[in-house]
Structure 1
Amino acid sequence: MNDDNRDQYVADEAARFWEERYRGQGRRWKGTPNVVLAGTVAEMTPGRALDLGCGEGGDAAWLAARGWRVTAVDIAPAALELTMEHAAKAGVADRVTAEVHDLADGFPAGEFELVSAQYLQTPFELPRARVLRAAAHALVPGGLLLVVEHGSLHPWSNADPDTRFPSPEEIYAELGLDPAGWTPERLGTPRREATGPGGQKALVTDTVVAVRRAA
């Protein structure tokens, strides 16, 4: 298998995986926004937001309800259907645009006051540093890139127990951004209580990287 065919195979497999995850299973999550996102943007003036890997649309609908115009992006059409259903129920469907994108192949067009990447982690190959670098360049002057990732394993996770999670400093360094144009506003590893599929509770770590483009 040559490199081009392999890349297409991985892309197709990833699309099928996420489509099957969101198709026909109903909602898996509560529909509430990510806590870090809500706290970070609470004092921001609403503008244009890009939600990368929007999933079921909890963040997109919450942002739209607070005056943001949101471009919600996911590789799975089923996820975008759930997002628009959520937005419609919240009465903000006119403020949300859904776009199918495989971020391994390209990046959405446009400029944004906020780019949100909440748990943009996948079992498939994804050039994450390249994606997040493109996200930083998609910001308008003064705009904010907010990245929140899993920084530890959930006790109920099926992932490799030896999984290593990069530090926020490592994630930021991989972006290779010019310090004259972008500034890290937050590099942190907050702890939170998570709830598993069986209702079990556990303290887990998130990794937070917030980057501001120079005004």
Structure 2
Amino acid sequence: MTHSFDKDYWERHWEQSHGDASADAGGTPPNPYLTREVGGLEPGTALDAGCGTGAEATLLASYGWQVTGVDISGAALAKASERAAEQSVSDRLTWVEADLTVWEPGHRFDLVATSYAHPAMPQLAFYERISEWVAPGGTLLIVGHLHGGAATGNGHTPPAEATITLTDIKERLGSSVWRIETAAEQPRTMAGAGGRLHELRDVILRATRLR
């Protein structure tokens, strides 16, 4: 089955998630790689591309970053705003409802991060697009689903068009522009709806923009 990943798709996704208390995506914790990969960086300006319900964006704000969270879904951003208020970091967050395939930020950021975002464009082209928004000396952090790596235990497998390989991403980042700091494929177990455990197989890439 091919997924469109357009605005209608994501609005349905988040509205359905929020309608089921046992699957409330608003309570989903940030991915564990964020602290590991950027916890030691000096806070500056950050973009969370495809921020969903704001787990990663609010964590960055709690570290002192001034964060812009962009998502195509108004339903997701409403939950993200609630989360930020609950954690008392709203003053360090700006939420933007926009389609990242056409949106332009107008400036670059010290950090551009994306976690499992799936836009209505090829996955690698999306990563290449958002990488242009990293300022020289800044950081790009990509967390995605490994191609061929099923999420097991809850009957869900990421659609093929939403997966990537580490090699594919690295080939898109030229060595004259980027220095790769972290490049890993890693499994992890997390709790899904109803507390059931399932395994994710992730791709994690962190790179520094040289110029």
TM-score range, shorter chain: 0.7 to 0.9
Matched residue type, 2:66 = R
| Equivalent residue for 1:149, pick from 140, 144, 150 | 144
Once residues 83 and 29 of structure 1 are traced to their aligned partners in structure 2, the CA distance between those partners, rounded to angstroms, is 7
**Preserved contact between residue 112 and residue 138 of structure 1 (Cα < 8 Å):** yes
| Equivalent residue for 1:139, pick from 130, 134, 137 | 134
After the TM superposition, which residues 40-59 of structure 1 pair with which residues of structure 2 at under 5 Å, given as runs? 40-59=37-56
Bigger RCO (CA 8 Å, 6+ sep): 2
| Equivalent residue for 1:181, pick from 177, 181, 195 | 177
- What TM-score, normalized by structure 1, do the two folds share? 0.83
Q: What's the % identity of the aligned pairs?
A: 31
**Preserved contact between residue 121 and residue 149 of structure 1 (Cα < 8 Å):** no
| Aligned counterpart, 2:209 | 213
Matched residue type, 2:144 = E
| Aligned counterpart, 1:166 | 164
Q: Say yes or no: does 1:196 pair with 2:188.
A: no
Once residues 189 and 129 of structure 1 are traced to their aligned partners in structure 2, the CA distance between those partners, rounded to angstroms, is 16
Instruction: List alignment gaps of at least 5 residues for structure 2.
Output: none
Judged with a 3 Å threshold, the aligned counterparts in structure 2 of structure 1 residues 76 and 202 are, in CA distance, closer, same or farther, namely closer
- What TM-score, normalized by structure 2, do the two folds share? 0.84
| Equivalent residue for 1:19, pick from 11, 16, 25 | 11
| Equivalent residue for 1:76, pick from 56, 73, 77 | 73
Matched residue type, 2:202 = D
**Preserved contact between residue 107 and residue 131 of structure 1 (Cα < 8 Å):** no
How far 1:29 moved relative to its partner? 4.5
Judged with a 3 Å threshold, the aligned counterparts in structure 2 of structure 1 residues 181 and 191 are, in CA distance, closer, same or farther, namely same
Task: Report SS of the residue matched to 1:70.
Answer: strand
Moved more, 51-60 or 27-36: 27-36
| Aligned counterpart, 1:6 | none
Aligned residues: 200
Root-mean-square deviation (CA, aligned residues, Å) is 2.4
Q: Say yes or no: does 1:119 pair with 2:111.
A: no
Once residues 26 and 78 of structure 2 are traced to their aligned partners in structure 1, the CA distance between those partners, rounded to angstroms, is 15
Moved more, 80-89 or 45-54: 80-89
Judged with a 3 Å threshold, the aligned counterparts in structure 2 of structure 1 residues 197 and 183 are, in CA distance, closer, same or farther, namely same
**Preserved contact between residue 113 and residue 139 of structure 1 (Cα < 8 Å):** yes
Moved more, 14-23 or 143-152: 14-23
| Aligned counterpart, 1:7 | none
